[in-house]
Amino acid sequence: MILADKIINERKKLGWSQEELADQLDVSRQSVSKWESAQSTPDLNKILKMADLFGVSTDYLLKDEIEVVDSSEYKEDVASYNEDTRKVSLEEATRFLEVVKRTAPKVAFGVSLCIVSPALLMFLLGFSEMGYIGENLAVAIGIVVLLVMVACAVFMFIMINQERKPFEFLETVKIDTAYGVDGMAKERKAEFESRRTMMVGFGVMCCILCSVPLIISALFSEKCGNESLVVFMVGVLLILVSTGVNLIINGSEYSTACDKLLQSGDYTLEGKKASKKIGKIGSIYWPVVVAAYLGASFITGMWEYTWIIWPVMAVLFGAVAGIVKASMKE
């Protein structure tokens, strides 16, 4: 069926005359008459407007091989699509990337504060082993500083979350980007790629080498019979880990934001569904880990050893997340 016949059919379904259709399209009746007699073809803007008026797709109007469609079904599909899909304009996408660029260093700093918060406690416990400070005083000061640093980090996370809240939908729902958004996101990601690679590379290197001081100090402490050096090196390990994680977050946040706009990487439709499940698991998992860490530390008083709970639980959570993602792909 050709375009002319389709215009006639759809106009008659609505019970419109040629004059009424012409009024809707801001054209003359003669123009509609010529379209319906195949003497001329409407321009693209008029075809788009007719598709909207008739409740059909532009493909249906333009492709002769597509026969009559049920417009009510098309409208239902469009309504369902609009309900499940969030449109993102170029202005909104640009604003999102600016917010991420501004807040990424704060996120990295907050995470670093959480990781390095027990470091002072480790150093003070080392001094207490050497007799420079009482153990109870060392633990008291260390715990107070730890809680203050974690509280500051949590405050930062709350403020950052408030700033990013309008863009949370990018992680959970399907998006329909306006013209120019994909190109802009790809261009900015490419511009940042070399910096990301360098920062992530140095960050991973810090995380790998963080245990070297601890291993060396353990060897020396066996010969010297002085365990305070090992406790000191645990503090150094935490500083190196926090530095590495800071670099990794700073390097990957902006690239991750571009992936959200492009719906690539971890933010494909399957990835978003998996993230929802992982988030629900994490909301239960991490409070339990914190409770276990504090409980074990206060009960045993072995703060210099209980820190090992964090890397073990982090690796375990990574395994859980991997299992969830794998199950979503099947």
Query: Looking at residue 81, what is its pLDDT?
Result: 45
**Residue 221 to residue 193: CA distance in whole angstroms:** 43
Closest CA to 314 of 109, 100, 111: 111
Q: What is the pTM of this model?
A: 0.62
Q: May I ask the CATH architecture of the domain 3-69?
A: Orthogonal Bundle (1.10)
**Residue 88 to residue 229: CA distance in whole angstroms:** 55
What average pLDDT does the chain have? 84
In this predicted model, what pLDDT tens digit does every residue of 255-283 receive, in sequence order?
A: 999 999 988 887 887 777 777 778 788 88
Domain ranges of the chain: 3-69, 86-266, 268-330
- Using CB atoms within 10 Å of the CB of residue 295, give its burial: 0 to 12 exposed, 13 to 18 middle, 19+ buried: exposed
Is the model more confident about 90 or about 270? 90
- Which residue is associated with the tokens 């007719």? 50
